[in-house]
Amino acid sequence: MASTLTQGMLTLGTLALACAVTASARAQEDDTIETPAAPAATRPAIKSNRWQEDWSALADPALRTEPLDGLKYIPLDATNAQTYLSLGLTLRERFEDNEAPLFGVGGRKGDSYVIQRLQTHLDLRIDGHWQLFGQFEDARAFDKTTLTPADQNQADLRQAFVAYSGDLDDGITLKVRAGRQEMGFDRQRFVSTRDGPNVRQAFDAVWVNVESAPWRVISFWSHPVQYRTGEPFDDYSNTHLQYGGIRVEHSGVGPGELSAYYSRYQNDTAKYLDASGLERRDIFDVRYAGAAAGFDWDVEGMAQWGSVGPKAVGSWAVGALTGYTLSDVVWTPRLGLQADAASGDDRPGDGRLGTFNPLFPNGYYFALAGYTGYANLIHLKPSLTVKPLPKLSLMTAAGLLWRQTTEDAVYAQPTIAVPGTAGKGTPWTGVYGQLRADYAVTANLTTAVEAVHYAIGDTLRRAGGHDSDYLGIEVKLGW
């Protein structure tokens, strides 16, 4: 293990020295091509969604201040600064120690390992309207006992799409993307890029959105990419799984943004504790988010109906992230409260399935440990975040968990039913403590440490589980 971790850190160190450029950023919520840089533009920041970056600002020689800037902006037309090629790289190394995956139920043993995600990309822009983006990935898990498609993806195509952005009449902008791409909505509770695990989620999709401030209308249809851990370039479009819909956003509703969407989720081979077969879910989601007078909020609700095999579906979920920041107090503390609830199946065998399907969850919405899935739960999590230094953020939180119904199971990420919990025990699931530190070493190099302790309730203990601990140490480089 020590040699594996050392190997990963040496790899990161070498690349950091060679590629000390630009900024690193956390997951972005927007999903559109960044508007081409204005003449007085500043140097762009690196984003989690690398295709959103606009490097045309480096047409100004005064902004080419970092090593290898000649590869970040390669002009292809001397008369048009918006026609260029940009190269880039992202490397993330994370050591994880998980004392009890799935709380140790079923004899699962603790595991310590390193996950490494290396991504390289090329981004071709033509005349400020067209974009051809390609990204390759090599994601590996060193010394991990059990591998899943979210852990390892050796030498494969991450994204490859063509996009167009242009103005129509009367201030209307049209944006279109087609090909293999990532997409995420809002806080990524239910549709996400899945940045927490080692392998992010991509979709073979067509995406169209029309914007006319303050309105934005999006339509999309996709087949999620299925990842395999065996051979290079063995990923494929999962034709047995489809997801698409239409979404409307309005950015000027009071001090916030209101959005709603209808979507259809179809899985030909779905499996639940009380149903299996062809799954069709019609989904309606509404969200309101904003900030005012020190308060911030993000509230979302989702309803699902349809069928799984011969059984009807009726499920729901609500989630809220709220907080208040004391901006005039030292360290600018933020007092936060997270609240979540999702339905479970309260009457097994009655011809109706009530278990909520979280679709494509992000894997770190609760914590990186993966102990909690967004199904059959009630969750309350007060938190405190402070900034002792401009580049350092510290967060402490305590999460309290119950089941929405004892007839259904306790679920871990993403929707893994813990054996021996359905129909047994009490609603109380357990409580976890979370500590996290994020530090920006430089503009392009960030580090993070997260620790979680989960004290389980009697239901999990009687199923053979025990208290669980998780530690993650992460270093991320963006160029």
Task: For residue 36, report the phi and psi dihedrals to the nearest 5 degrees.
Answer: -55, 145
Please tell me the number of Cα atoms within 13 Å of 162 on its side-chain side: 2
pLDDT 10s digits, 431-467 = 999 999 999 999 899 999 999 999 999 999 999 999 9
pLDDT 10s digits, 287-298 = 999 999 999 999
* HEC per residue, 58-92: HHCHHHCCCCCHHHHCEECCCCCCCCEEEEEEEEE
- In angstroms, the CA 344 to CA 313 distance is 11
- Cross-strand pairs, 175: 165, 209
Flag whether pLDDT at 25 surpasses 80.
Answer: no
Task: For residue 77, report the phi and psi dihedrals to the nearest 5 degrees.
Answer: -145, 115
pLDDT 10s digits, 378-419 = 999 999 999 999 999 999 999 999 999 999 999 999 999 999
Residue 169: its pLDDT value, please? 83
Q: Which CATH number fits domain 2-478: 3.30.360.10, 2.40.160.100, 3.40.50.1820, 1.10.260.40?
A: 2.40.160.100
- Cross-strand pairs, 144: none
Average pLDDT in the chain: 91
Please state the pTM of the whole predicted model. Answer: 0.89
- Cross-strand pairs, 166: 174
pLDDT 10s digits, 45-85 = 999 999 999 999 999 999 998 889 999 999 999 999 999 99
- In angstroms, the CA 411 to CA 429 distance is 10
- In angstroms, the CA 348 to CA 407 distance is 7
Report CA dihedral (249, 316, 182, 204) to the nearest 10 degrees.
-110
- In angstroms, the CA 365 to CA 189 distance is 7
Flag whether pLDDT at 304 surpasses 90.
Answer: yes
Confidence band (pLDDT; 50, 70, 90) for 146? confident
